[in-house]
Chain A
């Protein structure tokens, strides 16, 4: 049987949730997971210039809050929390 926790001590349920979140975030904005991760890091860098930021707890959520048709392309308005 596979070990039940990863090196961070997460159970497979938590790992699944993290993977689902990451996959969906990159699907929503049409960016690869690496790019999404890099964006997350850069946003964290900027924010930490101005405030105290716990990078372990730092989380960003990307949500599509609007869609408009522009020609053949679907333009999405995203909100980052």
Chain B
């Protein structure tokens, strides 16, 4: 049974696109067939995060306007044979697509894929309405900052009003050292405020940026963030995976790393 999931946040720059790419890679690593759809028309960036920017021929608007068939626009990932990207159009704007067209497109993708993941643009305008209209399930990405949490709360309200039943949260960019010092909200603090189901928390690690620099995911890498994203993918697929205790995990990894350095 395939699922259409929207990844959204309200606020920009909290890690929607990076999360979409990593969740997609995680699910593909579990041998699922996954398509990631960049629904930010006019500002494409999921292709760059995935390192597929040079392979784009057709885009989402081409498919919707019937200039090509869906399969012609799909780009296969470099690492995972089951992972595909449907890129967004660079030269068009949000008004090129209607919610009805997006629903039809998502329906046709569910014939081919186990997971259709929609990377939603920031904001709550047309692009948000398009992406959320087609989804049965939502993943809200936030960071432990007042502004991002406030927007996440607004988004959760809009998703609920839009009839999306299953809403999960990812708390991104947790800095464990700062949480320990009391200079950053903890995952628990964020959950206290937003009161939605937690899908996972991602530590703020250099590896995430470095991987994105190369157009790669952190899945399969020896990092806490890679492990956290993999666990999120497994939870999406319905597995019960205990949450990583970031505080102890970070010190443990530290110890392991320093052991190796000594040699």
Interface centre among A11, A20, A28, A67 (most CB of B within 10 A): A20
Q: Are B182 and A21 in contact (CB under 8 A)?
A: no
Q: Are A13 and B183 in contact (CB under 8 A)?
A: yes
Task: Determine the interface band of chain A, counting residues with CB < 8 A from chain B.
Answer: 10 to 19
CB distance from A31 to the nearest CB of B (A): 15
What chain B residues lie within 8 Å of A41 (beta carbons)?
none
Q: Are A16 and B145 in contact (CB under 8 A)?
A: yes
Is A14 on the interface with B (CB-CB < 8 A)? yes
Q: In the complex, which residues 52-67 of chain A have their Cβ closer than 8 Å to any Cβ of chain B?
A: 63-64, 67
If over half of A's interface residues share one DSSP class (helix, strand or loop), that class is named, otherwise mixed; here it is helix
Task: Determine the interface band of chain B, counting residues with CB < 8 A from chain A.
Answer: 20 to 34
Is B160 on the interface with A (CB-CB < 8 A)? yes
If over half of B's interface residues share one DSSP class (helix, strand or loop), that class is named, otherwise mixed; here it is helix
Query: Which candidate, B15-23, B132-140, B150-158, is the interface stretch facing chain A?
Result: B150-158
Is A4 on the interface with B (CB-CB < 8 A)? yes
Q: Are A20 and B195 in contact (CB under 8 A)?
A: no
Out of A13, A14, A23, A63, which one reaches B195, CB within 8 Å? A63
Which B residue's beta carbon lies closest to that of A17?
B189
Q: How far does the alpha carbon of A27 sit from the alpha carbon of B161 in the complex, in Å?
A: 15
Is B146 on the interface with A (CB-CB < 8 A)? yes
Which A residue's beta carbon lies closest to that of B157?
A64
B176-196 to A contact mask, C-beta < 8 Å, 1/0: 001101111110010011010
Q: List 5 A-B contacts (CB under 8 A).
A: A13-B182, A16-B146, A20-B185, A27-B154, A74-B161
Q: How far does the alpha carbon of A67 sit from the alpha carbon of B156 in the complex, in Å?
A: 13
What chain A residues lie within 8 Å of B161 (beta carbons)?
67, 74
What chain A residues lie within 8 Å of B144 (beta carbons)?
16
